[in-house]
Amino acid sequence: MHDDDPPARRRVLIVVNPGAGRSRTHRRWLDRIVHELDLLGCEAEVRIAGDDTGDVERLARDAPLDFEVIVAAGGDGTINALINGCARDNRIVALLPLGTANVLAREIGLPRAAERLAHLIAFGRARQIWPGRIGDRLFLVMASSGFDAAIVAAVNPGLKRRFGRGAFMLAILTGLIRYRPTLLDVEIDGVTHCASTVVATKARLYAGPFQIAPHAELGMPSLEIVLFKRAGRVAALHYLLALVCGTLPQRHDVAISRARGLRIAAATALPLQADGEIVGRLPALIEVAEQPIWLLCP
């Protein structure tokens, strides 16, 4: 605690992803954060969600109003569920990164040290973030359809809990073998484009540390729309390699634009993912949400 710190927030609710809650290392880390919050004058209550993904959303939605901050302990899917439960009520939310890719945590530069995270929760300033929206569902990082969403759909939940990033690597290999490309019709500002995959992102980063949209900005009421124009297994492999090498945004067959929304359609009802979870199927309308949320950021 520093002399120029504002008064500490008094009540904090930490909602824990059940997979993260089972890890001994994660439990010790969470215990340390709770201890540090106590030293800073905060009363932190920890609730471990059930295996049903909707339980995080329910716990956030039902949280009493005297909790000044509601914290998601998990990955991008956990903070997604949390904001869908409580962010529309102008609650301040925060993230303790315990997920597989932790894209949002990397995007905002969250520290890993328990002491620094506790200080952020107790004294940090909330930043205005404009999420995306699919129907009545919000997302904070990105939504997509095409090869990317097919990989998410192929991930085995049990393997994801047990092996984390390894489950995604297996899904990528399986996806490359089974990939049957379907062209998408993507309407942006009244103009229809053809693509094999489309990503509507709020974040610069993708799948962890890899850059996909250099000019994306969480605090802007807009989406960065990334169109992958080529189709097929070879093209998908080239895109993956370019992503890892940091050259994806410079490719001539990748188009990046900014808009407030887009429509996606295809000949088949392809899966649609948001923040690493399947949320529906095409056709879909993806837009910027009508109002921002408040996220604690360094």
Give pLDDT, residue 68.
93
Name the DSSP letter for residue 146.
Answer: S
The phi and psi torsions of 250 (rounded to 5 degrees) equal: -90, -5
**Helix 54-61 with 76-86: angle, nearest 10 deg:** 40
Quote the CATH superfamily of domain 11-124: Probable inorganic polyphosphate/atp-NAD kinase; domain 1 (3.40.50.10330)
Beta strand 293-296 pairing with 137-139 = unpaired
CATH number of 137-289: 2.60.200.40
Domain with CATH 3.40.50.10330 in the chain: 11-124
Give pLDDT, residue 245.
94
- Please give the Cα distance from 85 to 75 (Å, whole number): 16
Instruction: List pLDDT tens digits, range 163-197.
Output: 455 555 666 667 676 777 889 999 999 999 999 99
Instruction: List pLDDT tens digits, range 86-106.
Output: 977 889 999 999 887 899 999
- Please give the Cα distance from 152 to 164 (Å, whole number): 13
In three-state secondary structure terms, 216 is: coil
pLDDT less than 50: residues of the chain: 1-3, 159, 163
Give pLDDT, residue 110.
96
- Output the pTM of the full model: 0.90
Domain with CATH 2.60.200.40 in the chain: 137-289
Residue-wise DSSP of 13-31: EEEEPHHHHT-HHHHHHHH
